[in-house]
Structure 1
Amino acid sequence: MSKKIEFSYVRENIELEGYKVLSTDEYYYNNKSKFDVICTKGHECKTSWNRWQSGYRCKICTRRRISDSQKMDFNKIKESFESERYQLLTTEYINNKQKLESICPEGHEYSLSWTQWNTSGNRCPVCYHKRLGEEQKLSYEYVKDCFEKRGYTLLSKEYNGALENLFYICPKGHIGKIRWHNFQHGYGCNSCPKVRSNISKAENEIFDFIKEYFPDAEHSNRLLIPPYEIDIVIPSLFIGIEYCGILWHSELFGGKGRNYHLNKLNLCKSKGYTLITIFEDEWLHKKEIVKSRLKSILNISGSDIVYARNCEIREIKANIANEFLNNNHLQGSGSSNIRIGAFYNDNLVSTMTFCRPNISHGGNPSDDSYELNRFCSLINTQVVGIASRLLKYFINQYNPKLIFSYADKRWSTGNLYYKLGFKHIHDSQPNYWYVVSDRRVHRFNFRKSQLKKMDNYNLLLSEWEIMKNNDHDRIWDCGNIKFVLDEENI
């Protein structure tokens, strides 16, 4: 139960923003009690201390701000539709709730609002249901394995699509049937008690892990950035956590477009919250690394502490660096030319790797610039000051003119780079990964030269069109933050 705040304190904080409180304390019983206020524009409305703390203000002003902020130039909207080969039939844009008539690339005519298109990532419902039932057919072995991971025995002998019923025996011995569409989304046996049945097992595991350290953690919060839901919110730290199943957050099957995850991150940021976005394959295959990262971000005590001044710094071989990165870094090993390790009592506790800039990142391999492409420490270990020591070693040995690096916005705001003297250059647009079974695979592995090996290859089609024709989906991240350490600051 939340602690009752004195009404005098409530009044003082509300009036700091120019609002006037009309009600007296006789109407204030607890933090949920509603009372009357007048906003700075003279609109009278009701609020409670809980709603005010969650960011709710005058409804009339909020609607007007949303309307003004979301008004778009019609040509930009038309360009967005046409970039995905949709034909926009509507000739005038009024506001973000207006229904826009359009025709999809397959010729289906339908309507949706700009918010549904741009923020929610909605597309043609006819094509969506077609892909749902036909294109997204996973292998029977994969589906069976998913049932068994939750303790179910799959009785059905074949899998023919997400909407077909599958027969099972649940861990309690009940025989029943369920669609894969529902099972993958966290639902289970109809005869068993419904405990968080609409939330995935992995999401529950993450919530239980967080709740152990933060009793104020909230599950399925819809107050922070309505109407969107944030899976886990820690009010005391102003941090939110999203768990994203890669199938349900993909573009075709899940209907989550390019900006879906980035928009939620930015909406949380506007409320003063940092959002961490965890993808399903990270939790499934690198659970201990994820837990270690969360402990570090949330300042959870219990990790071993090592001080950089007590470490020996030296270069290490590729196989040693790769093994360490695969066991301690979410992205695993990467291509690198220079690998520097920190040893404590002759045990590798941290590594930082560098490579020459590649052309895809806009670099020139011939100049004296380098990319810092990996840095991590041993999981559940805090190596105080080690990033600075490793970077200084590299600078002293190789005399670079410029060092650049990228922070993944799903996991980082780039604080470490600022501490090391890097400058923020720009934020990149969201990037996509292809969904292969229960993993994300970087698009670099599906260049046109590689796609020639696929069955439905057509030289005239784009990479994405070829991948769709071969029953592949993709998922978008939140983009990266680029940082640079130039010659003046090295």
Structure 2
Amino acid sequence: MSKQKISWQQELKQALLNIGIESELYTSDSFLLLKFRDNDALYLNLLSIAVHPGSAETLVLQQEYTASAKQLIQLWEDIWYTKPAQVLSRISALMGKNQRVHGRKTSVVSITQPEADAFLKENHLQGSAKARHRYALVFAGQFIAVATFSGKRKMTRRQEDYTSVELIRFATADGFTVQGGLSKLIKHLIKTILPNDVMTYADLDWSYGKGYTKLGFELAGQIPPAEIWLDQVNNIRYFPHRLPEELRAATAQLTEAEKMTYLNSLNYSSVFNMGNLKYIIPCN
């Protein structure tokens, strides 16, 4: 899906400038990075589909930045092309450019799955996902934040009547940061359905989970980087076990090298994520 070799990186840089964010591209070993004029603690690692470093090398780079109290975001070419508005919104929020609204000025309402889908498709990098419980924060007559949760799941290995709920998605409307917004939505959920804990995952491509820690979540584990196959024709990402059934069947007996060659011939490219951090907050 590459156009010119650095066209998407230059396009990103110009798009940031158009919303008042000055940045600079530079190289470090095999990486092409972007730094910001007004924030020396935030960096982007720009990963192209055709040629990119491996996950192990990228993980080492991320750990080096973390050790220096710097956040390194992993931005893939396909994510920029398919979700440019969401990427710019997320960066703008991290740069402190958003309008701030305090959660106490908002009200909590239950919303339908289609309403959650519409909001999250527009405002979350991963789009929407099916959820049992869906809530929005309303300010000045509009939704400015949405959180979705699973139903209660029995955790009998903890104790017979122990239940846990997953926070599946949280997003704010473009241009808004809601101070205390996620906390307000979680507290509403806890009061409504009374789980023993709420758990969630921080996407290490974009977050180190500091926001969850501030809310009282405890780090419960880490999921390592994962291989992903990108269908470049339709711009769809698949974990290996979720590839279309016909592709799983066709590659079941192939070596890794043979599988790579076969899928590449069908315009599938191998990419990866940096894994996830698992967080849990007790409710009692």
Which of residues 125, 130, 133 in structure 2 aligns to 1:335?
130
Give 1:276 shift.
Answer: 1.1
Contact 1:431 1:479 in 2 (8 A): yes
Aligned residue in 1 for 2:104: 309
Which of residues 78, 88, 94 in structure 2 aligns to 1:291?
88
Q: How many residues align?
A: 275
Aligned residue in 2 for 1:478: 274
Gaps of 5+ in 2: none
Q: Distance in 1 between matches of 2:209 and 2:249?
A: 41
Q: Distance in 2 between matches of 1:391 and 1:462?
A: 46
Aligned residue in 2 for 1:233: 35
Bigger CA drift: 200-209 or 417-426? 200-209
Question: Aligned partner of 1:231: which letter?
Answer: L
SS at match of 2:208: coil
The structure with the largest strand share of the pair is 2
Which of residues 195, 211, 221 in structure 2 aligns to 1:426?
221
SS at match of 1:457: helix
Aligned residue in 2 for 1:319: 114
Aligned residue in 1 for 2:48: 245
Structure 1 residues 240, 390: CA separation in 2 closer, same or farther (over 3 Å shift)?
A: same
Larger Rg: 1
Aligned residue in 2 for 1:386: 181
Structure 1 residues 289, 268: CA separation in 2 closer, same or farther (over 3 Å shift)?
A: same
Give 1:234 shift.
Answer: 3.3
Q: Distance in 2 between matches of 1:363 and 1:340?
A: 28
Q: CA RMSD in A?
A: 3.1
SS at match of 1:238: strand
Question: Aligned partner of 1:204: which letter?
Answer: Q
Deviation string for 1:122-157 (max 9, x for gaps)? xxxxxxxxxxxxxxxxxxxxxxxx7xxxxxxxxxxx
Structure 1 residues 358, 440: CA separation in 2 closer, same or farther (over 3 Å shift)?
A: farther
User: 1:51-450 maps to which residues of 2 (within 5 A)?
Assistant: 184-186=3-5, 200-210=6-16, 213=20, 217-222=23-28, 227-234=29-36, 236-249=39-52, 256-300=53-97, 303-356=98-151, 368-437=163-232, 439-443=235-239, 446=242, 450=244
Give 1:257 shift.
Answer: 2.9
Q: Distance in 2 between matches of 1:374 and 1:383?
A: 15
Contact 1:406 1:483 in 2 (8 A): yes
Give 1:372 shift.
Answer: 0.6
Give 1:211 shift.
Answer: 5.6
Contact 1:230 1:240 in 2 (8 A): no
Deviation string for 1:52-107 (max 9, x for gaps)? xxxxxxxxxxxxxxxxxxxxxxxxxxxxxxxxxxxxxxxxxxxxxxxxxxxxxxxx
Contact 2:153 2:163 in 1 (8 A): no
Q: Distance in 2 between matches of 1:290 and 1:478?
A: 17
Q: Distance in 2 between matches of 1:285 and 1:258?
A: 22
Question: Aligned partner of 1:368: which letter?
Answer: T
Structure 1 residues 481, 458: CA separation in 2 closer, same or farther (over 3 Å shift)?
A: closer
Give 1:294 shift.
Answer: 0.4
Give 1:221 shift.
Answer: 4.1
Which of residues 454, 457, 478 in structure 1 aligns to 2:250?
457
Contact 1:259 1:476 in 2 (8 A): no
Give 1:379 shift.
Answer: 0.9
Deviation string for 1:233-261 (max 9, x for gaps)? 23752222122222323xxxxxx433232
Q: Distance in 1 between matches of 2:144 and 2:252?
A: 48
Q: Distance in 2 between matches of 1:268 and 1:228?
A: 16
Question: Aligned partner of 1:232: which letter?
Answer: L
Give 1:334 shift.
Answer: 1.0
Gaps of 5+ in 1: 1-145, 147-182, 187-199, 250-255
Give 1:344 shift.
Answer: 1.7
Tell me the TM-score normalized by structure 2: 0.84
Structure 1 residues 343, 476: CA separation in 2 closer, same or farther (over 3 Å shift)?
A: same
User: 1:24-39 maps to which residues of 2 (within 5 A)?
Assistant: none
Q: Distance in 2 between matches of 1:369 and 1:467?
A: 39
Bigger CA drift: 260-269 or 375-384? 260-269
Larger relative contact order (CA 8 Å, sep ≥ 6)? 2
Bigger CA drift: 311-320 or 470-479? 470-479
Contact 2:32 2:47 in 1 (8 A): no
